[in-house]
Chain A
C-alpha cells in the first residue's frame, strides 16, 4: 500500500508559510472591515482643503485639522441622540423584562401545547416590518386618538368639555409611541434569547423549589431572575443596539422635527443636496457613538446576542 509522497521539508515550509499567510489574510480582513469607519474618522477632522488634498485614509495634517465639521454635526445631531436614548432605553428594558417573563412562562414552566405559542413568537422575529407599517401608522395616528378622544370626552366630559384631543403632534408623545412600538416588537427576540438560556437551567433545581412549596412567582423572583443576570446583559446590549439603530419605525411614527431620533437626523443630513463629506462623516460617527461605545465595552454580550438569533 503506497502512501502519497511529498517532501517532508515542503510540508515543514508550508506550515510556516501558511501561518504567515493566515495572519496576512486576517490583517487584510481588518482593513476591509474597518476602512469605511477609519476614513470617516480621519475625514471628520479635516478642513475642506485638506479633504481635497489628502487621501481618504490619511490623517489630517496639523494644518488640515479642524473641529468644525464635528461641531456642526454635534449640534445638528445632539437633540437626535437625546431623543434616541430617551426612546431606546425604556423600550429595551421593558422588552427584556417582558421577554424574560414570557420565556419563563413558556420554558421553565412546561405545559402541553406551549411549543405552538413559541413557534408563533419566533415567527414574529422574522416578519418584515413593512408588513405592519401602514396599520401601525393608522393605529397611532388615527385609531388610538379616535378611541381615546371618544372615551375621555365621554367619561371625563365634565372636565374637558368635550374638547380634549389626543396630542398626536406632541413630540414626546410620538417618542413614547415609538418606544412602546419597539418594546412590543422586541418581545419575540428577547423571548428567544431567554428561552435558550432557561432551557439550560437544570430542571431538578426548579423541581426542588417546587417541593419546597414555592409558587411560580416565587421561583421566578428568587431563582430565575437572579440567575438571568448574564442573559439580561446580553439582551439589553443587543436589543438596545437594534432599537437605537432603527430607522423605519422612526420615519413612520415620528414626524415632529424636534423629536426626530438620531438615525432620522443623520438620514436628513446625508440626503441633503450639498455633499460636504466632512460633515456627513462627522455626523455618522456622532450618531454611531452610543452603539459604538456600547459595542466596544460590551462586545462579548453583543456577540452572544447575535449568535442567539
Chain B
C-alpha cells in the first residue's frame, strides 16, 4: 500500500522583502496506484510541492505521510521514491545500464546479478535494450527520456515523482509518450505524482488533477469534474483549450446584464444565484451554438473576426461590436465553414453556462450534465 497524504503542507521562503509563501496549506489524499497530476501556471508551487514529497525541500509546516508514516524529516534516500527530472539528470559518464543500476546499488543490498536482471528487463519493457551499453550523450532526447523513466521504474518505489518529464520533447513525441506513460502507470500500478503546466497532459493522463495557483490548491478532482464542474474562475479558465469565455454581468431581476448582451435566466437558475449581484457568466467555446433566427431566448448578433481552421474543428473569434477589441471564441466541427467578416447569430444555451461570483471567483452554478451519453458496447 502506498497511500500518500499531504496534510496542510506549507512552504515559505525568506526574502529581503519578507516571507514568500510558495505552497499554502495544500492537502491532498492520494490513493495507492493513483495517477495524480499537479498542474498550474509557472510559479504556482507545483514543483516545490513535488520536491517536498521527494525530500529535496524542507517542509515549513504540515505533514507528508506515506502509508500513515510521517516522512517530513526523512532524507530523500530513505523515502523509497523515484524521481524523473525535467532535464532527465542522466549521469553522462555512465552507460544506460550503469545509470539504471545506480539506484538499486545505492539504496538496496540486492546482489549484482539480480540488479542486472532487473535492469535488462526494464530496458526491454521500455524498448531501449539495444542502447543498454551506450552513454547518454549518444542518445536522442526521446531515448534519454526513456532511460530516465527506466531508471525510476527499476527501483520499484512506493511513489513515482515526475517533474515535467515531457517538456523537452517535440509535439509528436510528446503525444506518443503521453499514451505510453499512461499505459506504463496502469501496468505498474504505482502511485504517481506528475507535475506539468500542460493541461492537455493533465486531462489525458491522470486519475485526478490537483490544480494550484499561487501556492493555493484550487481543486482536486477527476479531469472531467474539473472540466465540467470547476470550483472557481481560475480552474474554469485554466482547464480547457481554447479556454472558457467569461462575461462580467450584473443580476437584475431575472436578467444578467452584461456589456454587450442581456441574458435571460430561468426561474430555477435565478433561485440558485439568489443573493449575488456581480456574476461572471462563463460558456465553453464548443457549447456556443450558431443559429439562423431568433428562436428562443439568449440569441445574440455577432461578427466573425478571425477563423482558425484546425482541420478537426474551426475556432472562430467573434465580436459583438466591430469597433471594440473584445472577442469571444466559439468552435464548430471541421466540416462547418465560416468566414471572417460574416454576421452570425449565436446562442448560449442555459444548460451549458457556468455562473461565478465575480468578487470571490467561486462557482455558483455549473452546467448541467444531462447531455452526457454513454456509447453502448457491442457484445
Contact = CB atoms under 8 A, between A and B. Distances in A.
B78 A3 contact: yes
B108 A4 contact: yes
Interface string B50-80: 0000000000000000000000011100101
B73 A8 contact: yes
B358 to A, nearest CB: 47
A2 B73 contact: no
A132 to B, nearest CB: 40
Contacts of A3: 78, 80, 107-108
Interface residues of A, number: 7
Contacts of A127: none
Contacts of B80: 3
A94 to B, nearest CB: 42
A12 B73 CA distance: 9
Interface residues of B, number: 10
Contacts of A2: 108-109
B59 to A, nearest CB: 15
A1 B82 CA distance: 14
A1 B73 contact: no
Interface in B207-223: none
A2 B110 CA distance: 8
B156 interface: yes
B116 to A, nearest CB: 15
B64 to A, nearest CB: 15
A8 B69 CA distance: 14
A4 B109 contact: yes
A309 interface: no
A204 interface: no
A3 B78 CA distance: 7
Contact of A1 (B74, B75, B78, B156): B156
Contacts of A1: 108, 110, 156
A18 to B, nearest CB: 13
A2 B78 CA distance: 11
A16 interface: no
Interface string A177-201: 0000000000000000000000000
B75 A11 contact: yes
A39 to B, nearest CB: 42
Contact of A8 (B74, B107, B108): B74
A59 B366 CA distance: 82
Contacts of B156: 1
Nearest to B110: A1
Nearest to B80: A3
Nearest to B107: A3
Nearest to B118: A1
Contacts of A4: 107-109
8 contacts: A1-B110, A2-B108, A2-B109, A3-B78, A3-B108, A4-B109, A8-B74, A11-B75
10 closest A-B pairs by CB? A1-B108, A2-B109, A3-B107, A1-B156, A2-B108, A11-B75, A3-B80, A3-B108, A4-B109, A3-B78
Given A3-B78, A8-B73, 7 more contacts: A1-B108, A1-B156, A2-B108, A4-B108, A4-B109, A8-B74, A12-B73
